[in-house]
Amino acid sequence: MRTLLILVMFAALPLSALAEELPTPQVPDPFGLGERLALVDYLRETCKLSPPPDATMERLVAMYWKHHRKEREAIQEDATDAALAADRVRRLRTELKERYQIDAPADADETTLGKLVSEARTKATGAAVQQVLDKAAARDNPSTPQEAARFAERDRQSSQVRQEQIEQDERAVRGEIQQLDEQRRALVTQAQEMSAVLAKLRDAYNEQVTRHNHLVNLYEKQTLEGSSDALRTLEQLHDQRKVAEQAKLTADQQEAALNGLGTKDEALATRRKRLDEMLAAIAQRRTDEQQGPAGGAGGAGAAGGGGATTPGGLADGPTAGSQQAKLLAGVVLLVVKNSGTGTGFIVSRDGLVVTNAHVLKNRDAMVVAVWDAGANRPPVRMKVIDFAEADDLALLQAVDGGPFEPLPLVEVYDLQRPLLSAGFPLAGSVAETLQTSPSDIVVSRGILGSLRRSKNDNRVEWLQHDCRVSSGNSGGPVIDQQSGAVIGVTTKVLTTDGVHSHGDGINLAIPIRKVMDRFAKYLKP
């Protein structure tokens, strides 16, 4: 009896719980029966149900909503949508208050709050970009010696951090080289031992072949003579053939193992070559850093002031012709009015700049090019002279300034070739968060991983690489590290969710051939 009572109670729970979550239904009461009796009458007449005479109001409500299941589900969906909308509103209000110190009106809806957040973000990005322009002007014309010294000290500290990173990278590469060389020495020793064993196995095989041939000759002689020993010799011949075949199999296995060591050593040699290239690149970074701003005896921070400095208290800059100097001179931050930022690179001495079309949004964009502070160049206004939306390419022309230092363009599509990506990722956001200049150039390293070809004519359509890129790198150069020439234009990252401007996924660049073909008439020698 007790078990039956428990089951009945559990059977009633869902209906009671449902009544607590749903409102009391509004049913017609033309005869003034009251809320409960009107609901009972509605259930009997309209729903064709038979409510118990002693049913509670909660029980009657549960019966109503169970009958009107679709209406109940609609109410629940509305409640979910309302909760999600309330959460979005709360998040927008929180962002306005905590990030931008804006108190939104109490009656502002989601659309209004979204507009306020968008305006605040645009204003913050504009302020960060303005800081770039102001700092560039301040570097060219420091107001006091103290300000010039402050610039120099900041650059000295930044240089020290970069030099420490160079030392750390070099230690890591040299450690890997040492391990790799030890592996190769062990392989040589193992190969020598296996070669000696292989030589013995081959001698043993040749000996077994000689015995086999001797038995063949003996069997043929005995057969001709009609000797009764021919049958016994034939059995020995079969056994000897098996011994010779086994000796050959053992020797072949040993030779295959020895060849495997050779293949492994070739792979290690390839890796060793790559490490040597990395070591050379690190050495170049050290040279650039020591001869660049605030680095080495000639820097602004050196005692005695040996070496010329700019008005901002900085050293003359990287050595002319060095990789660092070329990047600082040839890669620019593009500030697009009322839109955002991107990256571009110079392709002619008269100031032609290549970038992505999606960086500009349209042909009428108003653009300013800003250099890294190490280049010691003032910002320059740009105008759009070609806009190829289908290819996601655009060409700009400097309105003033010059002469400019272009980056070379070349088609070098060797897989596993070391690459550099240069640009200004998340320029405004990083500057706002760290209170630094958005025009601090960022260089990342990687390799060319794949050539994505057209299905129709087998032409290279995309370069896939693993250099680290983010939103703001769009339009920047992908550079062959050995030659220093641009081989592609950073454009997008492909993920499982589609195409995004940043994030983890497949990094794609437009081959430089498309740039040279599209803008051929402007790029004439």
Name the burial class of residue 28, with classes exposed (0-12), middle (13-18) and buried (19+) by CB atoms within 10 angstroms of its CB: exposed
The pair phi, psi for residue 495, each rounded to 5°, is: -120, 175
Q: Which residues pair with 278 in a beta bridge?
A: none
Task: Indicate the pLDDT class of residue 161, thresholds 50, 70 and 90.
Answer: confident
How far apart (Å, rounded) are the C-alpha atoms in residues 196 and 190?
A: 10
Task: Indicate the pLDDT class of residue 147, thresholds 50, 70 and 90.
Answer: confident
- Which residue, among 457, 454, 446, has the nearest Cα to 419 in the 3D structure? 446
Higher pLDDT, 277 or 327: 327
Q: What is the pLDDT at residue 378?
A: 85
Q: At a CB cut-off of 8 Å and minimum separation 6, what does 313 contact?
A: 142, 148, 149, 150, 151, 152, 300
pTM to 2 decimal places: 0.47
Q: What is the pLDDT at residue 477?
A: 96
- CA-derived radius of gyration, the chain: 39
- Residue at 352: amino acid letter: L
What is each CA distance from 448 to 38, 323, 373, 461, 469, in whole angstroms? 77, 19, 30, 14, 14
Q: What is the pLDDT at residue 475?
A: 95
H/E stretch holding 270 reads helix 230-291
Q: What is the pLDDT at residue 17?
A: 43
Q: What is the pLDDT at residue 294?
A: 38
> Tens of pLDDT along 70-117?
666 666 666 677 777 888 888 888 888 888 888 989 888 988 998 898
H/E stretch holding 355 reads strand 352-355
Report whether pLDDT(412) > 70. Answer: yes
> Tens of pLDDT along 200-232?
999 999 999 999 999 999 989 988 888 888 888
> Tens of pLDDT along 7-18?
333 344 444 444
How far apart (Å, rounded) are the C-alpha atoms in residues 209 and 234?
A: 15
Higher pLDDT, 31 or 62: 62
Average pLDDT of span 349-367 = 93
How far apart (Å, rounded) are the C-alpha atoms in residues 333 and 131?
A: 13
Higher pLDDT, 431 or 316: 431
Report whether pLDDT(516) > 80. Answer: yes
Which residue's structure tokens are 């002469």? 403
Task: Indicate the pLDDT class of residue 141, thresholds 50, 70 and 90.
Answer: low
Q: Are 300 and 309 in contact (CB under 8 A)?
A: yes
- Which residue, among 285, 316, 330, 334, has the nearest Cα to 155 in the 3D structure? 316
Longest dimension (CA), the chain: 134
- Least reliable range by pLDDT among 54-58, 131-135, 137-141, 447-451: 137-141
Q: What is the pLDDT at residue 229?
A: 87
Report whether pLDDT(300) > 80. Answer: no
Across 160-197, b (16+ Cβ under 10 Å) vs e yields eebeeebeebbeebeeebeeeeeebeeeeeebeebeee
